[in-house]
Homo-oligomer: A and B are copies of this chain.
Amino acid sequence: MLASTAFSISNLQPIQFSAVSDPNHLQTDHASLSLSTAQTTQPASAPQSKPPERKLKGSQQLNRWSRARAIRAGRKLDRAGNKAESNVISLFQAGNSDLAHSDSLAGSGEEDDVDATTAKSIYMVSDGTGWTAEHSVNVALGQFEHCLVDRGCAVNTHLFSGIDDVEQLVEIVKQAAKEGALLVYTLADPSMAEASKSACKLWSVPSIDVLGPITEAIASHLSVSPSGLPRGAPGRNSLTEEYFRRIEAIEFTIKQDDGALPDNLNKADIVLVGVSRTGKTPLSIYLAQMGYKVANVPIVMGIEVPRTLFQVGPGKIFGLTINPVVLQTIRKARAKSLGFHGEVKSNYSEMDYIREELEYVGKIFAQNPSWPVIEVTGKAIEETAAVVLRLYHDRKQKHCMPRISKRY
């Protein structure tokens, strides 16, 4: 069985972008990135042990910016080895006097929207993908829904990922100081984390190290030092066997969506059963991302339930049910978005039909008492996933307190 890891989004708001079309800019991007294409036509004897150089993974713009800074600073462009320590000292020597002139991060395109001045900023900086910083900020902001919902407090977040250079880091901290932003960082490289801490202290930027404390606690618990390598760095192996099994789970789950290929049901780890619009598809995908092979089987009156469903091993099937009034609301919205305006599928969102369908599925559930039935009304996919997996693991491994266990 595979591992489980997930994300939850508690409050999302649209991003208002100023779309700027600049063919030259795009062309430049492509010119830079197609270097990689050329590379791939070369045979490699040991490709897995030679990951592409990290500097290739960023955009041309980042490299250009970085080079421009280097030239202005009179440094050599070749940055072999970690110059974090020496860089941060010279950059710090510039001190606050440099801050007033620190405008190199400002947009070269259009100005920020007007309400940017009233919104509070949160900067997120990472030497990896930045997804952990982003996820943590997202979840923490869920604690301020009451304020964000009525716009009493607006928040702008800015994620800077793949920052592996102290100079860039210091520039971001200075910009955060200018904007009065909170800085949230995940920097695996200890010299980068130290530089961030020092720079934030120097420019009085409130900051939070998201992964530092937990990494230190685990290091002390295991009596092993952390590698200090950000994700994607040479020496880090992202492509483990389990990683590929997770991808296999996603591909399996897509192929099994919406009752497809019923002969494969016995190959699934988890089978979800319910009427239309109980969230089977997004829940399946969410669980697949955690490494579970999921199949979902819709129950529709008048369409026979595949016989293979009743041959699935115990502990794999979960029924989903929902309040009929909520289901009607969701179905009406769905019918509208699909372009049905009363003509086709007219009974799909009618209350009598919905009640009848829920009674029909209720009978199937009653005939199969080993299937737990989960009430999804008002639950986010992440919450339903938590219930499904708690039951799933609990039934496999009996404990007095339900838990999901995993071995590394």
Question: Does chain B have a CB within 8 A of A36?
Answer: yes
CA distance A86 to B218 in the complex (A): 32
Q: Residues 14-54 of chain A: 1 if any B CB is under 8 Å from the residue's CB, otherwise 0?
A: 11111111110111011101101101110111011001100
- Residue on B nearest A12 in the bound complex, by CB: B242
Question: Does chain B have a CB within 8 A of A265?
Answer: no
- Give the interface residue-count category, chain A: 35 or more
Contact of A218 among B34, B141, B228, B366 (CB under 8 A): B141
Sampled A-B contacts (7; CB under 8 Å):
A5-B12, A6-B135, A104-B400, A143-B227, A143-B228, A159-B406, A160-B401
B-side contacts of A326, CB under 8 Å: 44, 47-48
Chain A residues 319 to 342 lying within 8 A of chain B, measured CB to CB, are 319, 321-326, 337
Which of A74-82, A92-100, A297-305, A383-391 sits within the interface? A383-391
Add 20 more A-B contacts to A44-B323, A153-B222 (CB < 8 A). Answer: A2-B12, A4-B134, A7-B7, A10-B236, A17-B396, A18-B397, A19-B315, A58-B387, A144-B218, A144-B226, A152-B224, A153-B224, A156-B407, A157-B406, A159-B403, A208-B217, A231-B380, A231-B383, A238-B380, A239-B380
- Nearest-neighbour CB distance to chain B for A145, whole angstroms, equals 6
Question: Does chain B have a CB within 8 A of A262?
Answer: no
B-side contacts of A400, CB under 8 Å: 61, 65, 104-108
Contact A243 B9, beta carbon cutoff 8 Å: yes
Contact B322 A26, beta carbon cutoff 8 Å: no
- Nearest-neighbour CB distance to chain B for A335, whole angstroms, equals 14
Contact B41 A402, beta carbon cutoff 8 Å: no
CA distance A252 to B275 in the complex (A): 19
Question: Does chain B have a CB within 8 A of A194?
Answer: no
- Residue on B nearest A288 in the bound complex, by CB: B285
- Residue on B nearest A207 in the bound complex, by CB: B217
- Residue on B nearest A370 in the bound complex, by CB: B26
CA distance A22 to B146 in the complex (A): 44
- Nearest-neighbour CB distance to chain B for A46, whole angstroms, equals 9
